[in-house]
Structure 1
């Protein structure tokens, strides 16, 4: 189970494709990244993406290779996985609760009362120590689609 399904990613893609041209520009992509508090300079994003806009399949590839696998890492660290973890860990206590997950998914437009998503079940799937929350290692396993 992934944190975001293909259907979720398609909804995000459509949401950020402001002009409806079927492509996400670097500006539109940067808007999304800023919303989840991931900061890139325009030059970094251009270098990372390699073009001025992305089709949905290219957006999926960007998500899978860059965001999920943390390929844009800071020196010697799991940099952007750490940044992503901090986005979800709203109160800074070092773990992600179902309420925090629900809040962030809501900000992304991926959760509302009628969505049917159960954040407790999403967390339970990767909560290896069964404490009801995700620590960084459990979050990392979730983002990399592995359970140890």
Structure 2
């Protein structure tokens, strides 16, 4: 199961397409990635994406390729534990959402970050609560780091 539906991805795509041309440029894509704590130069991003801009289908493919990076347990450990430089990208992304630094993401924190990114409107609080509830496996009302990893990298059965 993908953490975001096609409708969610369509809304994100439309928000990123700031000039309304039906394409997301690498600048527009990089804007979003920077806000979630993922740093690429435009040259690195172009090399990764392979295109100067993305239509909606390419955007979905890009999303799928970065959200389905898990394979076996060893690979999961490598993604989570990080690299030689310190924190992994997933830990950095978690910290973006964990606004108060308590080690948990509440629906309010999720909503606040998504609003800042322009990916939700003011009435979407219930959507954030539903998303938290869906991935909150221990039913404490918040997403911890392990639940965040499962949300970002769902296991393939």
| Same fold, judged at TM 0.5 (above) | yes
Residue in 2 that maps onto 1:143 = 152
TM-score by length of 1: 0.81
CA RMSD, Structure 1 to Structure 2 (Å): 2.6
Residue in 2 that maps onto 1:59 = 59
1:118 and 2:122 correspond = no
- After superposition, give the CA deviation of every residue in 1:107-144 in whole Å (9 maximum; x if it has no partner): 23333343463322321222122222111110111122
Residue in 2 that maps onto 1:108 = 117
CA distance 1:110–1:17, change in 2 (3 Å): closer
Q: Which has the higher helix share?
A: 2
- Once the two structures are overlaid, the 10-residue window that deviates more, 11-20 or 132-141, is 11-20
Structure 1, unaligned runs of 5 or more: none
TM-score by length of 2: 0.77
Structure 2, unaligned runs of 5 or more: 71-78
CA distance 1:22–1:113, change in 2 (3 Å): closer
Instruction: Give the Å deviation of 1:27.
Output: 1.1
1:32 and 2:32 correspond = yes
- After superposition, give the CA deviation of every residue in 1:46-97 in whole Å (9 maximum; x if it has no partner): 221112111111111111111x2357x5537882222221111111221111
Q: How many residue pairs were aligned?
A: 145
Q: Distance in 1 between matches of 2:140 and 2:125?
A: 23
